[in-house]
């Protein structure tokens, strides 16, 4: 028996991508065994279409939407881009985005060459509602406001319902990036009055390369890929039937799992208590957070060194968002919280549907050993 078999790696990077659920694998295999284009009128095509529509209903249920609201896409990045571009095309050209939004929101907003107001956060990473109220009342034009439901690095849950009331009163469009919160906390597109909401399969235990944009009754989606009339004319191109089938199965399983996961903070909290006792600081701890996300910093202990050292110890975590081509860099999210001093030293530990308390305990044990060795080396140098 190898050492790896005796002590398998602990995966605590669910916010980058979740472990694939067995239900998703089974659904994908079944779909791969089908032969038929979902746009074909014959029996094989109808069978493929049935798979897509079943998945559409399953994904809609996860977000409290009707199936017709769901447009299947390649992932969260395309969903965010389609939401922003659709709002701009509808005349919502005054862009306001949160300071801790995902790069796909920030870069899409800036790519249009328009003025973009950056909405600040407080020291815990929660959006500043007083600032939003002032911004909405001061400017001209129809506002497009982008606010993630929960931050991908800190897990801080944003006040979307209160923000929505302000945006509606100002006649604006609200886009919610729910990619990171789906399957971890309850989502309901209608409750906050969102116009659009983005999801991604691989964050909930589905495959990479498939996502969805959900549209509220006021939103008109303007397609960016032209050609056929797939996805109710919103996105041309033959649907990714196996990926969509797996997405639907993952959404169904995630919804069933939600009560358990939403209450599952014990492992995370014990982990944080251990690292804080060793001198680390947890970020966003005073704000509501996703149940299995922890972002913390140990001053002087570089992020990249922590990530690499933990990897060598068999524990997989990350520093910041996992969208930088494998690079480890200082977190702009932590800097936006007014803690630029901790930005080069922060890492993110994130669990999910298959995470156990033992995983958190092993991560704590590994990190504490690394921190002790670092402290010992510093004493030797001194």
Q: Which residues are catalytic?
A: 323
**Is 23:255 a contact under the CB 8 Å cutoff?**
no
| Strand order through the sheet with 281-282 | 281-282, 293-297, 346-350
**Of residues 127, 242, 251, the one with CA closest to residue 182:** 251
Half-sphere exposure of 353 (CA within 13 A, CB side): 25
Alpha-helix runs per DSSP H in the chain: 3-6, 22-32, 43-62, 76-89, 103-111, 129-138, 160-169, 241-262, 266-277, 303-312, 332-336, 357-381
What does the block give as tokens for 123?
């020291």
Strand partners, 173: 144
Instruction: Collect contacts of 254-260 with beta carbons under 8 A, ≥24 apart.
Output: 254/21, 254/62, 254/182, 254/183, 254/204, 254/205, 254/353, 255/58, 255/61, 255/62, 255/183, 257/183, 257/353, 258/183, 258/184, 258/185, 258/186
196-200 vs 211-215, strand pairing mode: antiparallel
**Of residues 315, 313, 300, 372, the one with CA closest to residue 348:** 315
Round to whole Å and give the CA distance between 21 and 37. Answer: 26
Number of H helices, E strands in the chain: 12, 12
Cα 210–Cα 26–Cα 36 angle in degrees, nearest 5:
65
Round to whole Å and give the CA distance between 322 and 319. Answer: 8
**Of residues 147, 143, 122, 180, the one with CA closest to residue 320:** 180
Round to whole Å and give the CA distance between 269 and 274. Answer: 9
């Amino acid at each position: 028996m190898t050492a790896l078999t005796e002590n398998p790696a602990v995966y605590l990077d669910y916010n980058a991508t979740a472990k694939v659920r067995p239900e998703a694998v089974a659904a994908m295999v079944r779909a791969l065994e089908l032969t038929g284009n979902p746009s074909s009128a014959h029996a094989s095509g109808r069978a493929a279409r049935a798979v897509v529509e079943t998945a559409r209903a399953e994904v809609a249920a996860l977000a409290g939407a009707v199936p017709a609201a769901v447009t299947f896409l390649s992932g969260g990045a395309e969903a965010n881009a389609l939401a922003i571009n659709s709002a701009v095309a509808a005349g919502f050209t005054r862009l306001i985005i949160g300071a801790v939004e995902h790069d796909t929101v920030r870069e899409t907003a800036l790519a249009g060459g328009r003025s973009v107001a950056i909405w600040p956060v407080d020291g815990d990473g929660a959006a500043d509602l007083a600032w939003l109220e002032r911004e909405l009342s001061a400017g001209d034009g129809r506002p497009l406001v982008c606010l993630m439901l929960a931050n991908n690095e800190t897990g801080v849950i944003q006040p979307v319902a209160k923000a929505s009331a302000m945006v509606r009163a100002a006649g604006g469009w609200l886009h919610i990036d729910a990619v990171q919160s789906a399957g971890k906390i309850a989502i309901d597109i209608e409750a906050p009055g969102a116009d659009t909401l983005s999801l991604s399969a691989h964050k909930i235990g589905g495959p990479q390369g498939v996502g969805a944009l959900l549209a509220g009754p006021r939103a008109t989606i303007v397609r960016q890929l032209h050609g056929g009339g797939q996805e109710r004319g919103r996105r041309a191109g033959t649907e990714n039937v196996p990926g969509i089938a797996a997405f639907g199965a993952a959404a169904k399983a995630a919804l069933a799992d939600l009560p358990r996961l939403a209450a599952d903070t014990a492992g995370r909290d014990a982990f944080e208590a251990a690292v804080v006792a060793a001198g680390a600081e947890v970020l966003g701890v005073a704000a509501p957070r996703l149940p299995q996300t922890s972002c913390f910093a140990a001053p002087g202990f570089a992020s990249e060194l922590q990530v690499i050292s933990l990897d060598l110890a068999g524990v997989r975590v990350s520093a910041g968002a996992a969208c930088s081509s494998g690079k480890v860099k200082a977190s702009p999210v932590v800097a936006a919280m007014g803690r630029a001093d901790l930005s080069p030293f922060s890492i993110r530990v994130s669990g999910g549907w298959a995470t156990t308390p033992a995983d958190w305990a092993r991560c704590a044990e590994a990190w504490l050993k690394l921190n002790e060795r670092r402290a010992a080396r510093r004493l030797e140098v001194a």
